[in-house]
Structure 1
Amino acid sequence: MDSLITVFLPLALAIIMFSLGLGLTVEDFRRVVTRPKAFAIGASTQLILIPLVAYVLTILFRLPPELAVGMMILALCPGGVTANLLTKLAGGEVALSISLTGIISLVAVVTVPVLVAFFAGHFMGLDAPAIDVTALGVSMFLITLVPVLIGLAIRSFAESAALRLDAIVSRVAVVLFVVVVVGALAANWSLFLANLTVLAPALIILNVVLLAAGIFFARLFGLTMPEGKAIALETGVQNATLGITVGSLIVEQASALPPFSLPSAVYGITMYIVSIPFVLWLRGR
């Protein structure tokens, strides 16, 4: 289990983020300026709506403090490669999805450490772990932002090679994600079973509400259906691997996956139970 926490988990996240970088282009970042409306709505739902809904659910379901912090960690994570893939399958605007994932991932390096420290203190009080915000930010920078920038650089200077590499890395990223989730749940099986009846409903409701909210706000502000699909999936599908990793990083010398990571690990399964039927419904619209 030590190797999963100290080596495999950060490596898996770095490869997943590298895959994201390979799918990015400079044009994706320019789109933020040239088409600000859709991006602003998508960014607002990710940065404001998701944490708000997650916080309400932690209160309604009376989650234990450590699991409540884990729920907020998940909510603070941006969308990931999975959201981009599901957007493509749903017939959504992939470029907008990638733009949102890329930009919010950059912002998360700053926002996640600060807000995780805040919510840990809020829910746990004196029992909260001592979180070194700077160290957590540096760790996130190294295992998320650096791989994204390397992938972006390869895509910028050798596009054909990047596209070939992306096909391979994307498959590896999916396999690593599955291994991380299965390993996380296996190592915390008793804790998982003890909290499944509370965690699973809360996470499924989180998924359903956020997917529906994404569509609602896209229609409210007059966006196209492809834009609405992208925003819905970016809002409703979080980077579970990042959530698991952050949860383990805030516990010093963790030899097993802590409860802070459990909501993200369970979410890695429940999100497909909700999102795949949602994608199939979107394909027909």
Structure 2
Amino acid sequence: MSIWVLFAVLAAAFLHALWNALIKVGTSKLGAMVILSVAEIPIGLMIALPRPSMDPAAWPWVLAAGCTHFFYKTFLTFAYEKGDLSRVYPIARGAAPLVVAVVGALFLNDVITGPQYAGIGVLALGIALMARGVFTDGESRRLLPFALGSAAATATYTLLDGLGARVSGDAITYVAWVFVADGLIFTLGSLLLRGTAVFPRAPRAWAVGTFASLASYGAYAISIWAMTVAPIAVVAALRETSILFAVLIGWLMFGERMTRDKAIAALMIVAGVIVTRL
């Protein structure tokens, strides 16, 4: 991997942590997520329409991924309403590869090496330590089921996207249409559940949400591009440095409490994920 690809993947990791942080900025986490979803629609269309048509066989995968993203965003929104960025993000982000690894070993006949088993163990311990901090630091325990629900949804759409992108014949076009489906499904679903009151009125909220959407696509697109020019396992592992970026953003920008156990747990989660993906 060249130094430029390395920096690009680290930038993608930062952008992923950044858009999550921007969801925390507003008073209404759901409103911020709706704005992000609305902005995804024109972004996806501008990228998808000029490109060659996607293989029609990929459309079921696009719709399935869009529906899964609805649950991912919903769980993540509720988790951020209950807890800190530096607590929720590592659990939600770290538990997803743990779920994928365990499910793959049990049901998909994936071959797990000795070092990968060690990585899974470190990852599980890191998540357990991070979750334990919720109880010892007096935080809302209600963040845990939502953070874990977000992780389960992430694991699901990761599998869907991997298969769908292969069927589509063009990963960039596939991701763009997933953006459109994701934006439409989440926006319409939120309208049905909460009505028009779900839309924030402040122009600043729309500016922040739109920027978060651009950061989200940038993180996604850079990662996919990097996987075409560098080993997929290495890129996937480096992306998980987003956990450290999120912890630092929560601490430095939001003034979230940083304990020794939280820092150790974050490092364990990153180390465990990297080992399981190499």
Q: Report the TM-score, using the length of structure 1 for normalisation.
A: 0.31
Query: TM-score, normalised on structure 2?
Result: 0.32
